[in-house]
Amino acid sequence: MVKHIILWKLKTENNTPEVKKGIKDGLESLLGVIDGLVEIKVYTDGLPSSNADVMLYSVFESEEALKAYAVHPKHVEVADTKVRPFTAERSCLDFVE
């Protein structure tokens, strides 16, 4: 299995419950839509010690499935409308477990 973890820092003016809910709902709606996506969860309520605002945890069947997800039209639509306009910084870690 391939794990795909992303941490985002939101733009200050976009760090609202509504924006976080849009990111969470949009990304989590991709489960069952994209082949090879096994699990997807978005966390928006970090502890005060956190230095990121939103975390994506997702699991894919293979590296090829992750690559297909990256360019899948439904994922691109969510990323372009619910995520990218509101984020200032992005960090990613992909690994096999």
Separation of alpha carbons 58 and 39, rounded Å: 5
pTM confidence score? 0.94
- 45: tokens are 């309520």
For 30-51, how does the pLDDT look when each residue is reduced to its tens digit (9 = 90+)?
999 999 999 999 999 999 999 9
**Integer angstrom CA distances of residue 52 from 8, 73, 74:** 6, 27, 25
- What single-letter DSSP state applies at residue 30? T
pLDDT for the residue numbered 14: 92
pLDDT digits (tens, 9 = 90+) for 83-93: 999 999 999 99
Write the pLDDT tens digit of every residue in 48-76.
999 999 999 999 999 999 999 999 999 99
- Using CB atoms within 10 Å of the CB of residue 13, give its burial: 0 to 12 exposed, 13 to 18 middle, 19+ buried: exposed
**pLDDT score for 80:** 98
β-pair partners for 3: 59, 95
pLDDT (average), residues 15-24: 97
CA distance 83 to 70: 14
